[in-house]
Structure 1
Amino acid sequence: MNECLLPSRFSGWFAARGWRARPHQLEMIAAAQAGEDALLIAPTGGGKTLGGFLPSLIALTDVAAEGPKRSYRLHTLYISPLKALSVDVARNLMTPVAEMALDIRIETRTGDTPAGKRQRQRDKPPDILLTTPEQLALFCASPNARAFFGDLKRIIIDEIHALAPQKRGDLLSLGLATLAQWAPEARRAGLSATVSDEGGLARWLTPQGEIPAFARIVRGSEGPKPQIDILSSKARIPWSGHSARHAMGEVYETIKQARLSLIFVNTRAQAEATFQELWRLNDDGLAIALHHGSLAVEQRRKVEAAMAAGQLKAVVCTSTLDLGIDWGDVDLVIQMGAPKGSARLIQRLGRSNHRLDEPSRALLAPANRFEHLECEAARMAVSEGVLDGEPLRAGALDVLAQHMTGRACGEAISSDDLFHEVTQAAPYAGLTRREFDRVLEFCSTGGYALDNYERFRRLIRNRDGLWQARNARVAQRHRMNVGTIIEAEMLPVVLSSPVHGGGGSKADGGGQPPSAFQATPPASRGRKTMRRWGRSLGEVEEWFLEQLVPGDTFVFAGQILEFQGISENTALVTRSSDPEPKVPSYNGGKFPLSTYLAKRVREIAHDPAKWTVLPEQVRDWLVLQQEKSRLPEPDDLLVETFPRGGKHYLVCYPFEGRLAHQSLGMLLTRRLERLRMRPTGFVANEYALAVWGLRDLSGVDMDALFSEDMLGDDLDAWLAESPLMKRTFRQCAIISGLIERRLPGHEKTSRQVTFSADLIYDVLREHDPNHILLQAAWRDAATGLLDIRRLGDALKRVKGNIHSIDLPRVSPLAVPVMLEIGREPVYGEAQESILADAADDLVKDAMANG
């Protein structure tokens, strides 16, 4: 690529640093100059961010030369999925701007930005604004936004792969379609290191017309192959569980050898438990921190600052740190448990040695025997450069309703113009006018069954026939509820301070004050004289706290806490040293096993030639399964039946993830009830499903039992009475604006929201079963909470290939899912002891002769 594309000031800056512009960075400049949208796919550390911004910096050079008194016009809008990423990119962008003496105004705008600064930005826009999808949605719902964006020339969407397949991506795509009307000259750039569907994202990125349009795809050169090791623990590898506690000592020793480790887990509960286990082992006083989305913002920022300052040895974190942020000193990524997808593993790998010429290093620490197979499948996929990921899909109707209401809150608009606009967004390119009109009717009346209730009338037609918000109060309340992220009701957790002081602890190690980045472990358990308020630790889901009574203990913010009670919607806690606290469970943050990795796991389990890389304990387990029963085949379904403890069990191995398996379990029990087999329960994990009852299940016609037609009437009947469907509807109702959580001066409790949503759901089911919001909830159930689409694909795959085997006792492969039965969420050694005792009993039975 011709380096003449770089002005002399820029080429001089590269040369002064001993660099040369990379070909993909130059191609991004060429695409911008040609007026093309571009999707840049380049490995972590390959200069993606600079490649995205170079066209803007070059274009702004002449503007900046006009001096500080030049007019205020927004040139570039940068959108990222994380507030922290916007702040990090802004900081990194200032380096070339300062070193080239470019007088360019760069600012961030997130939910944390003070109202005064946001208003000043509207009056005096910066040259480059870095923000999030939700802030763009707020702009679309605000007056005079058309003028604010009128001079926009460039839009950069970072980590585009993480946004596009989600409802946040639907909302963003609609916002981009609005910008296309307000700023038709603005070109778009998407940035990502992990794209499985290049063509789909290239289409998602650019405005659509009658003929599908695609952005130019720009590819960066690959860096060195990552180094991925899988921990083969010398300890006894558990049959079940997700704590990986058996390997924690070996993980701790690995941390000691690295410069700075990021220890990724898949849920916030796992983060809390992992931090506690590492802290228990931390006799060396290593500076170990905790970072996840429920912690107080102040604590997260302290951790990030300590990382940037090189003060930490390790950070236990969730996905809050796996997107794009450049932590230069990280030389090792540790994944606790299986990553659930190769794209996610690659994304997390990129946090290690964040430079193109150095290989990323990762250590995978499987939590159980099945996870050893999954980790090996993920390592093979990364080695072969195979990416998985969520598929792109049609846009969600509840998100469309939110956007349509927002547009009318910002400015009056005709239905024809709005239809033309939204169908330019790729997820809605196939939207029919009939469906559009149904959503518009919902926004204006609530739909047929709700038409008589004034509070559901949000939009009206003015004298010119244009749609607008019914009044200023509707517009205000809409803007208060913008967004698609539905979190469970959270309550702040406040550490009540003792009047007397406490002693020292390992947290003081490393010469750093504990409050800067790590939790202070408890000094004593005795009751203290309490101050009413103290330091905020973050937020915990309300439903979890409601299960506690004063004196109960739980793990949060890296500490063991004793619950004192709830006062003024705040949970008051003190420190404790209870060895068996509970771990808060969070509804969010649980990743499903990807379809691609599921197929790989089935292939590994079936082929002994692939077992050589597995630990001896895991190989012996599979050999024993081969002897006692049989191994699942890649495209078949193994079904085992056996008696145990006076009950009869059916265990199958679809390997399709917990959500799909739970849906399958609910449908199978309905069918078995009709067959009068008297099923009494089921349990599922990521790999298998166990159903049990009072009658022998070995004689059931398995082909008929697992027939695809269970997704017809059986599914409809079950969904009609399922609380899961009500939960799905509740989320759609919130996103669409039918139910508002936040109101001027107060916020509805989760109970109030649930009561309202359930009442409306029952009314619609009875009086308006074809309501657009019920349709939206069904679509969500099919692809999200219940994973019906994936289940349907699995049933189609195994049709005519079901292998049923009747056994005298439990099989070795069935042991992990059987251990899920009646399992209680206990923390630490107690949980490990319970699982070990249960496993010993089951294994003894599985290994018995006969």
Structure 2
Amino acid sequence: MDTTRLPQVIEDWFAGRGWRVRRHQRDMLAASRAGLHALLVADTGAGKTLAGFLPTLADFAGDAPPEDGLHTLYVSPLKALAHDVQRNLLTPVEDMGLPIRVETRSGDTPSDRKARQRAKPPHVLLTTPESLSLLLSYPEAATVFASLKRVVIDEVHAFATGKRGDLLALSLARLQALAPAMRRVALSATVADPEAFRAWLAPWGDIDSVALVEGEAGAPAEVEILVPEGERVPWGGHAAAWAVPQLYQAIKANRTTLIFTNTRFLAEYIFQLLWDVNEDKLPIGIHHGSLSKEARRKVEGAMARGELRALVATASLDLGVDWGDIDMVVQMGAPKGSSRLLQRIGRANHRLDAPSRALLVPGNRFEFLEALAAKDAVDEGRRDGEDFRPGALDVLAQHVMGCACAGPFEEAALLAEVRSSHAYAWVDEAAWARVLEFVATGGYALRAYDRFKRIVRGRDGVWRLTHPEHAARHRLNAGIIVDSEMLEVRFRNGRALGKVEENFGASLRPGDTFRFAGMDLEVESLRDLEIVVRAAKSAGQIPSYMGARLPLTTHLADRVQALLADRTGWARLPDDVREWLEVQDWRSRLPAPGELLVESFPHGGRAYTVYYTFEGWNANQSLGMLITRRMEDAGLGPLGFVANDYALAVWGLKPVEDPAAMLSPAILTHEFVEWVQNSYLLRRAFREVAVIGGLVERQHPGKRKSGRQVTFSTDLIYDVLRKYEPDHVLIEAAWADARTRMTDVGRLADLLDRAAGQLVHVELDRVTPLAVPVLVMIGRETLPAGAADDELLVEAESLAAAAMRPTRG
């Protein structure tokens, strides 16, 4: 039997549209008929989603279509993507006259439809990880999913390595227990390590049960890097506002242009600049996560109908609603990763046989190098991405509670089910007992409070809810995404100065100084969602608000360093960028791959040290906090630091004569722990895990707690646990978050390893060219993002004049 042969009605449908069935689509059908799970890695426009659904369509197009009941589950990271897939899936279903009912289920689905779906599920249900987890928490789950044959996970790279992936991994384990014959399918265009994703997808670690299907190669993308017309690539800034006139001409020359930015602030800023030059009144839209659902849907509809000439967007559209008439994608600022860039480029044309066109617009010289490195990676088809890490304990606690809501469970059976997922194979009986104790009582320090008693073990050894109301409260509050709050900066007398992102505020502690709203401020206290400050007696030590950031991937950072070392390749660079590197090479040196270059020089009466780490902003920001404390202990009079993705600049009254001493590995033991515990970082991380783990509720029936109320509640509990139960399971989970997401301790450790063996210290008499891009950031705020670029350019010219003078010191 030919396992790749499709029913005739499907073959005819492809032929009728002038399409051929791709090899990888037939391979997915063969894998399904062989009883295998499957991971499909194929370029954007290769028909991945259709390939995932093809076995389902074939089942319903056969001589004996399946009976009523849920047959296929489609899981998407975005609600918008699920709605788009529904539209695209209904077309072949209706064209072929197949007896398939397709519905979506998300947070936006009306409650009466959700109830009907539990009583009479459709054949195909399109949902998100969170909505799936909630559906599994109902007593009807065993009946609803008993007939399930297939789960299709789209854009798996977007969430498998994070907490949403943990939640989905646990849901897959539960589904496999309810429907043992169920097969798992995952789809992606940008998986860097297919073997790691096969292991994540496989039940019980049986990687051989997961077929790897690789798609047919598509037309290579056409990527260009925009440079200023008759001007120089800027020294500093990230907004690339210089490119707006050229960008507007590109919009006029194309049918539809999709413009990606890395932050919401930058999206708003670029959108406004485009409207300022929009003499032709072209329809230009904006799309990001802070807009209302109605505003986003309106823009998505206009884009789908081809009514917009350009759309400025953030990562909210990374995962590709299928708009086939986009003929150019623009990336404003550095791409930060080759996989992210590939994903965004794939929004153009969305056809395998047509090249996607992309324009990269760097904001400064380092970003030009990053754009070139990303372009080379795309040309070579090289992908990158985040590594998998052990499943999070707060997510496991949420899942256990959801299972209890569905019905009583036996401890050993649920542990076996949990351990069948790759993310939680590490869980031993001791860790399991701690999680159960937390869900049952809140932990040792909280067990006296009845509101934390959610489940109880009966004499028969079976765990049950202590009261039915806990199920309703769980479903009202369960979820993984915890919105980041904004912290208000104000004086003690109540005068407000504005708000900063919690990411920044969490790194502060009383006594720290920073520059904000044009003033140097000292932190007096942090409480609830406020930073209480007073006027500082000296210049701000810590760089002020810089907005949310996408992390620079290690892969791309390594490529940028390789570009610096490849002097023969400098011929590809614009004249001013090449001159920048040549003068740096002559005046000082360039950091070689695997090497940590440290430069020291005086400037403006202060002693500066610049560490060229290439480890990303999170790691550099954390290192800056730690180094300034070491400098203070050494009596060097630290005055401040500033960081970008590539470098960290620290300045003080006295020079750092031995930078290696500032970077000894011991900094990650006592000093790192002391800094995290005494800053807001651990407290903030605890709030997130407390919400995810169900310890603190965001919503009550008919009422949602404010961010201030949630923070107040979690702060009280945090203080109790730190004092009476410092090894509480959620304190452990908070530490894991603080180490990985907030401070990037893994990359910090890599940096310290390099410092121990490959540190090169160069002492100079003045600023170097390579230091200029990071030094121009000192004291500059970016509210709104990019608004300070003109001021940066003025500062850059002054610094550059000193750095580029053609005389040796």
TM-score normalised by L of structure 2? 0.91
| Equivalent position of 2:166 in the other structure | 170
Task: Note if contact 1:205-1:214 (Cα within 8 Å) is conserved in structure 2.
Answer: no
Query: Kindly tell me: are residues 376 and 166 of structure 1, through their superposed partners in 2, closer, same or farther at Cα, counting changes over 3 Å?
Result: same
- Post-superposition shift, 1:430? 1.8
1:360 to 356, 361, 377: 356
SS of alignment partner, residue 217 of structure 1: strand
In 2, the alpha carbon distance for the partners of 1:19 and 1:193 equals 20
Task: Note if contact 2:342-2:378 (Cα within 8 Å) is conserved in structure 1.
Answer: yes
In 2, the alpha carbon distance for the partners of 1:482 and 1:594 equals 31
In 2, the alpha carbon distance for the partners of 1:830 and 1:212 equals 50
| Equivalent position of 2:540 in the other structure | none
1:683 to 627, 642, 654: 642
2:702 to 745, 764, 769: 745
* Residue segments in structure 2 that go unaligned for 5+ positions in a row: 501-543
Task: Note if contact 2:260-2:315 (Cα within 8 Å) is conserved in structure 1.
Answer: yes
SS of alignment partner, residue 330 of structure 1: coil
Is it true that 1:204 corresponds to 2:219 in the alignment? no
In 2, the alpha carbon distance for the partners of 1:746 and 1:435 equals 35
Query: Kindly tell me: are residues 213 and 712 of structure 1, through their superposed partners in 2, closer, same or farther at Cα, counting changes over 3 Å?
Result: farther
- Post-superposition shift, 1:376? 0.5
Is it true that 1:813 corresponds to 2:786 in the alignment? no
AA in 1 matched with 2:771: A
In 2, the alpha carbon distance for the partners of 1:99 and 1:155 equals 24
1:190 to 167, 186, 193: 186
Query: Kindly tell me: are residues 827 and 733 of structure 1, through their superposed partners in 2, closer, same or farther at Cα, counting changes over 3 Å?
Result: closer
AA in 2 matched with 1:56: T
| Equivalent position of 2:330 in the other structure | 334
Query: Kindly tell me: are residues 291 and 769 of structure 1, through their superposed partners in 2, closer, same or farther at Cα, counting changes over 3 Å?
Result: same
| Equivalent position of 2:729 in the other structure | 772
In 2, the alpha carbon distance for the partners of 1:552 and 1:484 equals 28
Is it true that 1:632 corresponds to 2:628 in the alignment? no
Query: Kindly tell me: are residues 478 and 656 of structure 1, through their superposed partners in 2, closer, same or farther at Cα, counting changes over 3 Å?
Result: same
Task: Note if contact 1:203-1:213 (Cα within 8 Å) is conserved in structure 2.
Answer: no
Query: Kindly tell me: are residues 690 and 85 of structure 1, through their superposed partners in 2, closer, same or farther at Cα, counting changes over 3 Å?
Result: same
| Equivalent position of 1:292 in the other structure | 288
1:607 to 566, 581, 588: 566
Task: Note if contact 2:7-2:62 (Cα within 8 Å) is conserved in structure 1.
Answer: no
| Equivalent position of 1:228 in the other structure | 223
SS of alignment partner, residue 208 of structure 1: helix
Identity of aligned residues (%): 51
| Equivalent position of 1:92 in the other structure | 88
Task: Note if contact 2:490-2:498 (Cα within 8 Å) is conserved in structure 1.
Answer: no
- Post-superposition shift, 1:794? 2.1
In 1, the alpha carbon distance for the partners of 2:14 and 2:174 equals 37
| Equivalent position of 1:485 in the other structure | 481
Task: Note if contact 1:238-1:369 (Cα within 8 Å) is conserved in structure 2.
Answer: yes
| Equivalent position of 1:465 in the other structure | 461
Task: Note if contact 2:597-2:759 (Cα within 8 Å) is conserved in structure 1.
Answer: yes
AA in 1 matched with 2:15: A
Moved more, 445-454 or 652-661: 445-454
Is it true that 1:18 corresponds to 2:8 in the alignment? no
TM-score normalised by L of structure 1? 0.86
| Equivalent position of 1:729 in the other structure | 686
Query: Kindly tell me: are residues 546 and 56 of structure 1, through their superposed partners in 2, closer, same or farther at Cα, counting changes over 3 Å?
Result: farther
AA in 1 matched with 2:87: R
| Per-residue Cα deviation, 1:816-848 (whole angstroms, up to 9, x for no partner) | 211222112244896233212221222223234
1:793 to 750, 756, 759: 750
1:301 to 297, 301, 316: 297
Task: Note if contact 1:41-1:193 (Cα within 8 Å) is conserved in structure 2.
Answer: yes
Summarize the alignment of residues 342-381 of structure 1 with structure 2, pairs less than 5 Å apart.
Answer: 342-381=338-377
- Post-superposition shift, 1:3? 7.7
Moved more, 279-288 or 833-842: 833-842
Task: Note if contact 2:251-2:257 (Cα within 8 Å) is conserved in structure 1.
Answer: yes
SS of alignment partner, residue 630 of structure 2: helix
Task: Note if contact 2:118-2:140 (Cα within 8 Å) is conserved in structure 1.
Answer: no
In 2, the alpha carbon distance for the partners of 1:42 and 1:4 equals 18
| Equivalent position of 1:217 in the other structure | 212
1:266 to 262, 266, 283: 262
AA in 1 matched with 2:30: A
In 1, the alpha carbon distance for the partners of 2:301 and 2:335 equals 27
Query: Kindly tell me: are residues 391 and 829 of structure 1, through their superposed partners in 2, closer, same or farther at Cα, counting changes over 3 Å?
Result: closer
In 2, the alpha carbon distance for the partners of 1:596 and 1:432 equals 34
| Equivalent position of 2:539 in the other structure | none
- Post-superposition shift, 1:766? 2.3
Is it true that 1:276 corresponds to 2:235 in the alignment? no
SS of alignment partner, residue 107 of structure 1: strand
Summarize the alignment of residues 323-722 of structure 1 with structure 2, pairs less than 5 Å apart.
Answer: 323-489=319-485, 543=488, 590-697=549-656, 699=657, 701-722=658-679
Summarize the alignment of residues 84-163 of structure 1 with structure 2, pairs less than 5 Å apart.
Answer: 84-163=80-159
AA in 2 matched with 1:187: R
SS of alignment partner, residue 784 of structure 1: helix
| Equivalent position of 2:538 in the other structure | none
Task: Note if contact 2:3-2:29 (Cα within 8 Å) is conserved in structure 1.
Answer: no
* Residue segments in structure 1 that go unaligned for 5+ positions in a row: 490-540, 555-583
SS of alignment partner, residue 782 of structure 1: helix
- Alignment coverage as a number of residue pairs: 762
Query: Kindly tell me: are residues 585 and 805 of structure 1, through their superposed partners in 2, closer, same or farther at Cα, counting changes over 3 Å?
Result: closer
AA in 2 matched with 1:791: L
| Per-residue Cα deviation, 1:590-611 (whole angstroms, up to 9, x for no partner) | 2100000001111112332222
AA in 2 matched with 1:403: H
* C-alpha RMSD of matched pairs (Å): 2.4
